[in-house]
């Protein structure tokens, strides 16, 4: 195996996806048992280059790297040479010249990761790029769906909330569509991305035979009874430059996952959220505690999926994991 870049969900073939999910499952018992120490990435260094706020994504990559024996090093925009005007290209060249094995990068612009990818020759993982992509979140969401038996053709998933600013939605809908799953986007017009129809992979994939659909609905109550999973999103106020949202109470009433709506969601359906969660705004405490809710599990399972991603991007598989694909 050699070094790999995961910049966009498009970088993953279907065998890649299944291998990453199988590898995540392989790590799962050890992660759920409270952690482990392995030598798979012993002797490597992974830079966590986070130019934007993060708790779960950064911490899960850090703990995953440490459990695999890698030296993980945190670099943020504050205190780095970015403050002195260093470009993304020069940062990539600098880290490349130090022979680091992997960079996990989060940046507030969609394009920085593409520039970085041109100059960094080893493993690279996109941990969120502006309004662009968040493929590692999509991967852990896929794992969550697969564990519920829902990652299969014909399943229908709703994503509700601030879709305009959601890179999670962008990566997920591309992944789901390519697997033949249908996505329903649920949001008021002002929270929909301009030209949302163009997000469907039919606009760039060579062959979209068997792909699932992507539709838009403004009425969550109409959508809920007919889904296998619902993903709630937070209002990304830090990206709103005004005009998108009037008030949270109004939003909660129209789009929040609250009491009466829980009854509309089928018994087999699961509730997901990438976090951070604003309890009482997009989701109620009751929904959070409902047995269909997988939000806490997503965080734990995220560690297993990041273990898989670091191995994959560094081109090293753990001893004992059999390659099936
Ligand atoms: C998301 C992100 O950063 O894109 N969160 C995450 O990675 N877990 C979504 C968000 O910030 O609301």
Same domain flag for 195 and 273: yes
Cβ of residue 134 lying under 6 Å from some atom of ligand 1? yes
Q: Is residue 144 part of a domain?
A: no
CA of 158 to the centre of ligand 1 (A): 17
Residues 154, 258, single domain; the answer is yes
One domain, residues 114 and 176: no
Query: Which range marks the domain in which residue 272 is found?
Result: 149-293
Residue tagged 């050890």 (tokens): 30
Q: Is 278 in the pocket of ligand 1 (CB under 6 A)?
A: no
177-207 confidence digits (pLDDT tens):
999 999 999 999 999 999 999 999 888 888 8
Q: Tell me, in angstroms, the distance from the centre of ligand 1 to residue 54's CA.
A: 8
Q: Does 106 lie in the same domain as 195?
A: no
Is 160 within a domain?
yes
| pLDDT on residue 237 | 74
Query: Does residue 129 line the site of ligand 1, with CB under 6 A?
Result: no
Same domain, 115 and 159: no
Q: Is 140 within a domain?
A: no
Average pLDDT along the chain: 94
> Where is average pLDDT lowest: 17-21, 206-210, 244-248?
244-248
Residues 46 and 164 both lie in one domain: no
Measure the CA–CA gap between 228 and 191, rounded to whole angstroms.
23
User: For residue 321, is it within any domain?
Assistant: no
Nearest atom of ligand 1 to the alpha carbon of 275: 8
Q: Do the domain assignments include residue 320? A: no
Please indicate, yes or no, whether residues 279 and 303 belong to a single structural domain of this protein.
no
Longest dimension (CA), the chain: 57
User: How many angstroms is it from 304 CA to the middle of ligand 1?
Assistant: 18
- What CATH number is associated with residue 215? 3.40.50.1370
> Is 139 part of a structural domain of the chain?
no
Q: Who contacts 109 (Cβ-Cβ below 8 Å, separation ≥6)?
A: 129, 130
Residue pair 183/215 in contact by the 8 Å Cβ criterion: yes
User: 20 with 70, same domain?
Assistant: yes
Using most ligand atoms within 8 A of CB, pick from 48, 51, 57, 281 the residue to mutate for ligand 1: 57
pLDDT at 80: 82
What pLDDT score does 24 carry?
98
The per-residue pLDDT for 307 is: 98
- Residue 288 forms part of a structural domain: yes
Q: Is 128 in the pocket of ligand 1 (CB under 6 A)?
A: yes
- Residue 164 shares a structural domain with residue 261: yes
Residue 120 resides in a domain: yes
- Domain count for the chain, please give it: 2
pTM of the model: 0.96
DSSP state of 238: G
Mean pLDDT, range 285-299, rounded to an integer:
97
């Amino acid at each position: 195996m050699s070094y790999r870049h995961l910049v966009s969900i498009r970088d993953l073939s279907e065998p890649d996806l299944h291998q990453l999910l199988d590898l995540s499952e392989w790590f799962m018992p050890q992660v759920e048992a409270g952690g482990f120490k392995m030598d798979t990435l012993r002797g490597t260094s992974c830079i966590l280059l986070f130019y934007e706020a993060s708790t779960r994504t950064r911490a899960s990559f850090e703990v995953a790297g440490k459990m695999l024996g890698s030296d993980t090093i945190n670099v943020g925009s504050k205190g780095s040479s970015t403050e002195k005007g260093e470009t993304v290209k020069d940062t990539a060249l600098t880290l490349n010249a130090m022979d680091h094995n992997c960079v996990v990068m989060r940046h507030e612009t969609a394009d920085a990761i593409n520039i970085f990818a041109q100059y960094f020759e080893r493993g690279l993982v996109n941990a969120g790029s502006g309004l662009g992509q968040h493929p590692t979140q999509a991967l852990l969401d896929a794992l969550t769906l697969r564990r519920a038996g829902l990652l299969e053709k014909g399943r229908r998933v709703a994503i509700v909330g601030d879709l305009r600013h959601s890179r999670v939605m962008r990566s997920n809908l591309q992944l789901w569509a390519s697997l033949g799953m249908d996505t329903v986007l649920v949001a008021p017009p002002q929270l929909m991305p301009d030209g949302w129809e163009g997000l469907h992979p039919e606009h760039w994939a060579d062959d979209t035979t068997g792909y699932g659909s992507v539709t838009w609905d403004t009425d969550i109550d109409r959508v809920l009874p007919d889904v296998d999973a619902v993903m709630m999103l937070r209002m990304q106020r830090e990206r709103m430059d005004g005009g998108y949202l009037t008030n949270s109470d109004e939003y909660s009433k129209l789009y929040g996952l609250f009491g009466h709506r829980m009854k509309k969601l089928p018994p087999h359906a699961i509730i997901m959220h990438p976090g951070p969660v604003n309890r009482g705004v997009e989701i109620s405490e009751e929904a959070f505690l409902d047995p269909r809710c997988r939000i806490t599990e997503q965080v734990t399972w995220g560690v297993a999926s990041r273990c898989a991603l670091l191995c994959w991007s560094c081109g090293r598989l753990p001893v004992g994991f059999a390659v099936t694909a």
